[in-house]
C-alpha cells in the first residue's frame, strides 16, 4: 500500500476521513492517482506530483472533495 498516505494526514483530517482499513486506503490511493494523472500503483511518481501540487488551493480543495467521495 502507498506509503505516501502517511504524509497526507492534514488533508485527510480536512476531508474528515479516517482510513480504518485496507479497502479505504486503496480507494483513496486510487483517487489520488487518478487526480494527478499517474497510473495506479506508480506511487513514487504520484507522491512527487502530490508534493508539488498539495499547496495549490484549487488542487487541495479538489483532493479533499475526491477523498471524501471515495470513502462515502
CB 72 within 8 A of CB 65: no
Per the structure, how many domains does the chain have?
A: 1
CB 1 within 8 A of CB 26: yes
- Which residue range forms the structural domain that includes residue 52? 3-71
What pLDDT, in 10s, does the model give residues 5-64?
999 999 999 999 999 999 999 999 999 999 999 999 999 999 999 999 989 999 999 999
Q: What pLDDT score was predicted for residue 2?
A: 65
Q: What pLDDT score was predicted for residue 72?
A: 86
Amino acid at each position: 500500500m502507498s506509503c505516501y498516505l502517511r504524509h497526507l494526514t492534514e488533508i485527510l483530517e480536512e476531508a474528515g476521513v479516517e482510513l480504518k482499513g485496507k479497502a479505504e486506503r486503496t480507494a483513496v490511493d486510487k483517487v489520488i492517482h487518478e487526480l494527478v494523472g499517474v497510473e495506479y500503483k506508480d506511487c513514487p511518481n504520484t507522491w512527487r506530483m502530490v508534493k508539488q501540487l498539495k499547496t495549490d488551493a484549487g488542487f487541495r480543495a479538489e483532493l479533499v472533495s475526491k477523498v471524501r467521495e471515495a470513502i462515502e
